[in-house]
Amino acid sequence: MLTATSVVEDGQRHWGRFLHTPTDANPAAALTGLRGAFESFRTKEWAGFTITHPEFFSSMIIQDAKYLLSSEWYLYDAATKSLAQHAANARAGSVRLPANILRSEVAFAAKGYRVSYSFNEERIRVRFDLAAAKDGPAATGELILDPSKASPPLVVSARLPKGSMYTNKIIFPAAGSIRVGEREYVLDPDRDFAILDEHKSRLPYRARWTWGTFAQPVEGGYVGANFAIRPQLPDQQEESCIWTPDAAEPLANIIFSPLGDSPSADWSVRSADGRLDVVFSPFDRKDVNQQLVLAEIRYSQMYGVYSGTLRGEHRTWQFDAVHGVLEKMAMRA
């Protein structure tokens, strides 16, 4: 495990798993001049949260593709089976995601749409204020996340074929409330949580991945998993782990298998070593399809429940209908 406080030190980038989130995560700092400018432009950056609550599924994201700045938010009510979603674009360069997100503020603003994150050592505040639109009623919310009770971080820096990846993922207890139209949801930090997903990755022009995550609170912290498959170099770390209260234990060689031809079919998700062995049952999905002249995004995030087994280094856990997400991405950018 790397203990460095910066992804790049003395002009050299660290590759591998970090014990702690670096205070300086700027992969482009490894290069200067025209190569550095190209590296920075090709680096896709995003920061978002998946919110877990027994009555809904919800995610939000701010993403900087350099040629386009965008943000998305959705909430699916499990009882009414209603999906509220909002999205907006902004001028490229109007927001820059920081090199040290855990000590920074980020805000995305467009007409009728505002999402902001404010991080510090004592608390994280996530706010959004979204005007009513064709895909959903007005939505407002303020979440307070507690860094002192967060999970161990999953932080990976890895070479990719024709690219590179940096990711930082952490689970935080979540308090606060969300209002969608006339419906208000109250979050309980002993039960509910938000999973941070931060990326700074220079992806190849054509990129694909399948990714999923889920967790649940247990005594002393969280148990869950993050798992992904993408084109990978054989000697590089994957962005997968089993979360226990004590560690983000490395996980690799993930196998995603749809259990049918229907878009609503269950999925088997397992690791080759058997430490992850779960079935994902989707409730519904959110699709994003963007077609530009030289760029294309085809993205689908399914939200549903995971059931099965996680085998940590010291203990095995059984899960039954734990909320989570599974997504597929195909992009050309």
pLDDT tens for residues 230-273?
999 999 999 999 999 999 999 999 999 999 999 889 999 999 99
* Mean pLDDT value across the chain: 94
% of residues, the chain, pLDDT over 90: 83
pLDDT of 307 over the 80 cut: yes
pLDDT of 290 over the 80 cut: no
pLDDT of 39 over the 90 cut: no
Secondary structure of 147-209 as H, E, C letters: HHHCCCCEEEEEEECCEEEEEEEEEEEEEEEEEECCEEEEECCCCCEEEEEEEEEECCCEEEE
Q: Is 292 helix (H, G, I), strand (E, B) or coil?
A: coil
pLDDT of 289 over the 80 cut: no
Backbone angles phi, psi at 38, to 5 degrees: -65, -45
The whole-number pLDDT of residue 294 equals 63
pLDDT of 106 over the 70 cut: yes
pLDDT of 157 over the 70 cut: yes
Give 332's pLDDT tier (boundaries 50, 70, 90): confident
Give 292's pLDDT tier (boundaries 50, 70, 90): low
3-state SS of the chain: helix, strand, coil percent to 5? 5, 60, 30
Backbone angles phi, psi at 35, to 5 degrees: -65, -40
The whole-number pLDDT of residue 32 equals 82
% of residues, the chain, pLDDT over 70: 98
Region 12-19 average pLDDT: 97
Q: Is 30 helix (H, G, I), strand (E, B) or coil?
A: helix
Q: Distance of alpha carbon 57 from its chain centroid, rounded?
A: 14
pTM over 0.85: yes
Region 169-182 average pLDDT: 98
pLDDT of 92 over the 90 cut: no
Question: In this predicted model, what pLDDT tens digit does every residue of 210-223 receive, in sequence order?
Answer: 999 999 999 999 99
